[in-house]
A and B are shown apart, each in its own frame.
Chain A
């Protein structure tokens, strides 16, 4: 109970709750659009944004958002150029992002290296009230956008050609989705760390996709799973003293393994009942 009296833990719980609401929504669309690795690319690139901010003496959150938004647009352009091999765009930008981080860190003094480490692994102690407010605003924006554009996004994710012939502005929608994902990563990254931000976005949706048949069901179950993973991971991280991002990711992977096991047992029993019934 003691942990709930610390201001930084209260902010961490608030942030976790908000991340749990948006991560499965973005995660599901990323997976279905074959862009799971895009979150990883953007998190690497956002480190370059942080390094740039530290180098020129501007609040890294703002430079981070700006750089990630630009790269998100570039990513969509490259995805269109290499339509058949869209992972090429991810490979190019991920390596470009990391190269940029190292160059920018080389140009700055040692202080930047320390701060970059914080962004790399994340820290719940450093969550500021301003970050929680930003996350709240982002959650409201994403929730509203999801409620309004749920149907066009469903079609776009199902098949881009169908979406195009239905008259949807598929390029604009794709770019906006990428930018929104980029900004979300830029806001979440200082909390969970650049190395694991994509896992926290993608894993809840990946688990819930195995559990629900319907689109809305996947998102609802994803939110529940994200809440379980985020909150229990945070408590475990506080109690054991492990990094929060890594702890949450490991818990989500355990949940993934458990659900896969239970589902397989369930399927096996179903087959067994069928064969017994058919006397095969």
Chain B
């Protein structure tokens, strides 16, 4: 079976300094994997290696080209840097979230009724539908985070790659968000890899837990994988 993400013995170094070593794991359809580690544990670096934004110095990363239905696999990525939102970017919330649909074979086609319904549902799911005509530069940090998530939901990706997506959310919003992810994962067969600091709360929703830990035997600030633990669920 082809895994959505397959990481084998990955190592990465900035110039001469090793940052990541011995990373191996898989993410599949219907997998909800959380990735944790202390501050500066190279979690984002690992995600960027997986997405091809950085090149591993050793090992390999493979993202499947097709989903389990034999269609082109679509990746939805939400980066940590909400601050990278260009405050002056001339776009409404609606335009930006609609752009998530382009990846669904709409680069050169008009968005149809179904696309628009999808966009509306995505905006409603993060409570931003009423703000759809606002310019994105006028939004607060938390609102920008929410429309980034709405955009990725609008894309309806097969694989979610999320880097601390709940920054700026309160407890209730976080719970609703995790439920939504879980629903997407189990009911719609999506694969999810999510970097988070919130591991106590999310362990009720995630299936696997990967923790990056500092290598004791390395003179560098280098991180490795502790293990990929299956998480037991409380009986409900």
Contacts and interface: CB of A to CB of B under 8 A. Distances in A.
Contacts of B91: 154, 158, 213-215
User: Interface extent on A, as a size class?
Assistant: 20 to 34
Contacts of B108: 148, 151
Interface stretch (A41-49, A62-70, A164-172): A164-172
Contact of B102 (A166, A213, A214, A215): A166
B128 to A, nearest CB: 15
Contact of B95 (A159, A162, A215): A215
A151 B99 contact: yes
B77 interface: yes
Contacts of A157: 89
Given A151-B106, A155-B102, A165 B92 contact: no
A167 B74 CA distance: 9
A155 B84 CA distance: 14
B88 A166 contact: no
A161 interface: yes
A66 B66 CA distance: 41
Contacts of B51: 161, 164-165
Centre residue among B75, B90, B99, B135 by max chain A CB count within 10 A: B90
Contacts of A217: 90
A218 interface: yes
B92 A158 contact: no
A212 interface: yes
A148 B79 CA distance: 28
B103 A161 contact: no
A166 B103 contact: yes
Centre residue among A28, A151, A155, A218 by max chain B CB count within 10 A: A151
A157 B148 CA distance: 16
Nearest to A158: B89
B53 interface: yes
Contacts of A158: 86, 89, 91, 96, 99
A155 B89 CA distance: 11
B82 to A, nearest CB: 11
A215 B88 CA distance: 11
B90 A213 contact: yes
A32 B99 contact: no
A157 to B, nearest CB: 8
Nearest to A219: B90
A207 to B, nearest CB: 12
Nearest to B76: A165
A205 to B, nearest CB: 9
Interface in B16-75: 51-53, 75
Interface in A132-181: 148, 151-152, 154-155, 157-159, 161-162, 164-167
B84 A159 contact: yes
Contacts of B14: none
B86 A165 contact: no
Interface residues of B, number: 26
A209 B53 contact: no
Given A151-B99, A151-B107, A161-B53, A212 B77 contact: no
A155 B151 CA distance: 12
Nearest to A157: B89
Interface in A1-48: 28, 32
A270 to B, nearest CB: 13
Contact of B86 (A28, A32, A152): A32
A28 B91 CA distance: 12
A167 B103 contact: yes
A63 B200 CA distance: 65
Nearest to A152: B107
A159 B92 CA distance: 15
A155 B99 contact: yes
A144 to B, nearest CB: 12
A214 B107 contact: no
A19 B52 CA distance: 39
A213 B89 CA distance: 9
B186 interface: no
B90 A212 contact: yes
B188 interface: no
A218 B91 CA distance: 9
B133 interface: yes
Interface of A: 28, 32, 148, 151-152, 154-155, 157-159, 161-162, 164-167, 209, 212-215, 217-218
6 contacts: A151-B108, A158-B86, A158-B89, A158-B91, A165-B53, A215-B95
Given A148-B108, A213-B134, A213-B135, 18 more contacts: A32-B89, A154-B91, A154-B95, A154-B99, A155-B99, A157-B89, A158-B86, A158-B99, A159-B79, A161-B77, A162-B79, A164-B53, A166-B75, A166-B103, A213-B133, A214-B90, A215-B90, A215-B95
